[in-house]
Structure 1
Amino acid sequence: MKYAIKIRKISTVNELENAWNNEDYKQLLERFNFPDAQSNDPQELQELLFMAITDFETDEAAKIVLDYTLSEHLTEGQIEQLSHEMLLDKVSEEYPVISLHKALFNTNQLLYKAYNGKFHNAEATIVDFEITPLDNTESYISKEIVLKCFAKNLDNHSLILRLFKNKINAVEAFEEANDVIWELQKKDSFYRLITSDYWMNKNEILSEEFNCEIEFFEEES
């Protein structure tokens, strides 16, 4: 399958737009003993939440936010452990379960801002790009297709290339692609991918325009 890629814009950010909504803020305010917040202004609610958070010790605050964001995926013991590890490491990059990285990123960055830098700062990469199927390649675009295409245009030192070489080359199934790329959004005339700076940063991307050919893993019958 062949594609032509044209990158429009690459951005590095330390928070994701719409990561939190008003209901999230109000639910968290309750958990931080600030119930019945009347405002519907997200900026005001965020500021109230930051004030409420900083009344708590850092590990206790981390535990409360982690419980809100990840209690369906982690045990109480895992949350307790992570609440301490977050002050020492970038858990949104290093946690072994890749599917939780986005939620851990949002949690980490909320606490980073609330405590003015006591937590590690993590970053995300946003790429706006056009992708055109070539030579009768079907038009459907998936996270796996996008990640394999971009892998063809990354510096050899890229973590993606080092960790997922066999998956990129279709020697093995690439199930992790759906978690490495946090979001793949279809815009009017382009796509937008969002991932961790840990997986892909703008300094690793070699060309703004490139063609590539990719393959998919097929199990032997």
Structure 2
Amino acid sequence: MKFKITVESIKTVEEITGYWQNQDYINLMERFNFPDAGTLKPENLNEMLQMAITDFEPNEAAAIVLNYKLSERLNEGQIAQISNDMLLDKVSEEYPEIDLHYDLFNINQLLHKAYNGKFPNAKAIVADFSMVSSEGYEGEITKEMVLKSFNNGLSDGNLIKRLFTEQMSTDQKFTEAEAVIWELNTEDSISFTLITSEYWLNKQDILAPEFEGECLLPKEEETE
């Protein structure tokens, strides 16, 4: 199926609004031995958490936050390794399990801010675009459909296009799309906002603000 894609804007950000909730700040402060965190005003939670974090060595703080957020996915050895690697590399771009990149990005940026740059500064992009079917499709637009449709509008140097050539340009299933696009939001199924890593997509990757995208889905999906 074909879609008309219009890219309204792409901006680079260093943190994703809404990922960390006030309760996360309170829970983390308790892990960093900050007393009575629940009595603080909501507007002070982030600042006080950063103060609590810096009472620890950077790798120790990283291990605490990683354990809080990813203990169900990572074992102690993996957490210890990543907590040290984060000080040297952008783990949120390099970790082999890409479905962890979203969490690792937000963990990294929390620590980057608290330690004034001791952790590498990773970046994300927020893209606003419209996606209108040329064939009258009125069903749900999925992350897989968005990435496949973007294929025609991306430069050949784009990392998604290079790593997932078959998935992007044929009817092969693109399961990795769920991890590549971190968030896909819409209120009307026409105008969308996607959030992903600058590692996957940046302004230079977009060849033109308007283009026709072709989305080739697996046969069983087309007939559902």
Contact 2:91 2:104 in 1 (8 A): yes
State the distance in 1 between where 2:158 and 2:129 align: 20
Paired residue type of 2:133: P
Matched with 1:63 is 63
Matched with 1:211 is 212
State the distance in 2 between where 1:138 and 1:213 align: 16
Contact 2:105 2:122 in 1 (8 A): yes
Matched with 2:136 is 136
In the alignment, does 2:24 pair up with 1:24?
yes
Measured against aligned partners, the alpha-carbon deviations of 1:34-80 in whole angstroms (never above 9, x if no partner) come to 031211323x1111111111111010000000001110111111001
Q: CA deviation at 1:218?
A: 4.2
Q: TM-score, normalised by structure 1?
A: 0.95
What SS class does the counterpart of residue 8 from structure 1 fall into? strand
State the distance in 2 between where 1:128 and 1:40 align: 33
State the distance in 1 between where 2:171 and 2:149 align: 16
Contact 1:144 1:177 in 2 (8 A): yes
Counting aligned pairs with the same residue, the percent is: 54
What SS class does the counterpart of residue 49 from structure 1 fall into? helix
Measured against aligned partners, the alpha-carbon deviations of 1:151-186 in whole angstroms (never above 9, x if no partner) come to 221111111111000111226321000110001001
State the distance in 2 between where 1:212 and 1:169 align: 10
RMSD over aligned Cα, in angstroms?
1.3
What SS class does the counterpart of residue 152 from structure 1 fall into? helix
Measured against aligned partners, the alpha-carbon deviations of 1:59-114 in whole angstroms (never above 9, x if no partner) come to 00000000011101111110011000001110000001111100000000000000
For structure 1, the 5+ residue unaligned runs are: none
Matched with 2:110 is 110
What SS class does the counterpart of residue 153 from structure 2 fall into? coil
Matched with 1:96 is 96
Residue 36 and residue 77 in structure 1: after superposition, are their counterparts in 2 closer, same or farther (change >3 A)? same
Q: TM-score, normalised by structure 2?
A: 0.93
For structure 2, the 5+ residue unaligned runs are: none
Contact 1:98 1:180 in 2 (8 A): yes
State the distance in 1 between where 2:110 and 2:187 align: 27
State the distance in 2 between where 1:40 and 1:99 align: 33
Matched with 1:191 is 192
State the distance in 1 between where 2:178 and 2:42 align: 33
Matched with 2:81 is 81
Aligned residues: 218
